[in-house]
A and B are shown apart, each in its own frame.
Chain A
Amino acid sequence: MNDPHPDGQSLLGAAVLPCGADVDLLLEQAAVGRGRVLDVHQRECVHCQAALGEFTALWAPVSELAATPVPAPPGLTAAVMSQIRTLVRDVWYTLEVTEIGAVRIAARIVAALARDSARMIPGVRVALGRSTEGKIAALAEKATFGHRHPNAAVGVLGRTAVVDLAVAVTYQDPVHEVARDIQRHVTATLRDQVGLRSVTVNVTVDDILDADDS
């Protein structure tokens, strides 16, 4: 391949090559990784071939840097969501008192465990903590004696909890069975992992998605 600038002058100082080719377009071609994909003119033109070779070599470390993974710092999502949840709701706690002291678990932890537990059930595409409204709100209020925030996805009092989940399931999965599985699995999870005694899980299936609907 010929020296693209035998007189020591950079190709980047020119607008066009001696053959008339636009330097910016050649630079773009190399920058997007097509420096070795030559068109009809370039296959016959030493100026273009030299320039594309030069630009491809120049941009190799750029492509390398672009391809280098940049992991997000751990805790970024948690920090964002912590601020957002602080903005939207108060924190409530479960309470278990024994002779060696009290254990309190934030309602949002209960909600997160319930949500993640629901997502483990086959057929569940997404499970979201639901803002309770209407009749279910009344049920939740009664069961937890009003110890819940109106916009919380879970109401807790002592070792009693009412969890409301909105879920979307995959089309053709038996919706009723999926909902029952969610109730059973979430109830078991909260009893085992949080130590709750009385757990009510209200499931609202309000979306059915096709298998390829992502």
Chain B
Amino acid sequence: MNAAQAGGPDVGDAYLVARAQEGYVDAYELLVQRHSGMAYRVALRLTGNHHDAQDVAQEALIAAWESLNRFRAGASFSTWLYQIVTRRALNKVSRGQAASPLDLLPDMTDPADEPAERAERNFAVDAVTDALLALPFSQRAVIVLHHFEGLSYAEVAAATGSTEPAVRSHLFRARRALSKKLEEWREVATQ
């Protein structure tokens, strides 16, 4: 029997967060059941492989619990978790280097970290995955959070510790970069 069948999740995140802050581990378990899918999905998009994604999701969910006392009443738990997952993913792809909030959206002149080698794929969706992973992390993050997860500019800014204008600028740059890579793939695929 899962919690949904049992009627457990019939309360909002804010209620469960408040209870978890009071020490009810069960309340946090319901939050984990509710958000672990998102944590893994975002981690997978950002890291590009299952094992790293599983590590990132697990670490993020435990880190969120450990820092529940710093969670502000009225804030969105999911946005907060997006922030933790994104930062953990950045740490993972940066080989464990610590990240400050500004590191999530670094200077836009940073060079793209192109993969050394990329096999030609026949499927458009695979090409998108490859193209996404070829983007610098900051561009990948705003694409994933905005276009894949449906977060608003304000929510992406909150999740990346940035500002809405900066998010908008990075999205413009990221869309062009991703589109160029897809264009290249299309040219190769149609030859």
List the interface of chain A (C-beta within 8 A of B). 10, 12, 24, 27-28, 31-32, 55, 58-62, 64-66, 68, 70-73, 76-77, 79-81, 83-85, 88, 111, 115-116, 119-120, 124-131, 151, 153, 166, 168, 207, 209, 213-214
Known contacts A24-B175, A65-B128, A72-B37; A209/B11 CB under 8 A: yes
Known contacts A64-B124, A80-B62; A12/B179 CB under 8 A: yes
Q: Report the nearest B residue to A60, measured CB to CB.
A: B124
List the interface of chain B (C-beta within 8 A of A). 1, 3, 6-12, 15-16, 19, 23-30, 32-33, 36-37, 39-41, 44-45, 50, 54, 57-58, 61-62, 65, 124-125, 127-129, 147-148, 171-172, 175-176, 178-180, 182-183, 186
Known contacts A12-B179, A76-B54, A81-B29; A61/B40 CB under 8 A: no
Contact of A116 among B1, B27, B186 (CB under 8 A): B1
A64 to B175, CA, bound (A): 16
A191 to chain B, nearest CB (A): 17
Residues of B within 8 A of A120 (CB): 1, 6-7
A134 to B188, CA, bound (A): 72
Docked-complex contact A28 and B175, CB < 8 angstroms: yes
B38 to chain A, nearest CB (A): 8
Residues of A within 8 A of B30 (CB): 126
Docked-complex contact A168 and B15, CB < 8 angstroms: yes
Docked-complex contact B180 and A10, CB < 8 angstroms: yes
Known contacts A77-B33, A125-B11, A128-B19; A62/B25 CB under 8 A: no
Residues of A within 8 A of B148 (CB): 65-66
Known contacts A66-B147, A213-B12; A84/B65 CB under 8 A: yes
Docked-complex contact B10 and A76, CB < 8 angstroms: no
Contact of B54 among A32, A59, A73 (CB under 8 A): A73
Docked-complex contact A58 and B25, CB < 8 angstroms: no
A208 to chain B, nearest CB (A): 12
Residues of A within 8 A of B183 (CB): 10, 12, 58
B65 to chain A, nearest CB (A): 5
Known contacts A84-B65, A126-B15, A214-B12; A58/B182 CB under 8 A: yes
Q: Beyond A28-B171, A65-B128, A76-B58: 18 further Cβ-contacts under 8 Å?
A: A24-B176, A27-B175, A28-B172, A55-B179, A58-B182, A62-B178, A64-B124, A76-B54, A81-B25, A81-B29, A84-B65, A85-B25, A125-B7, A129-B24, A129-B25, A130-B24, A166-B19, A214-B10
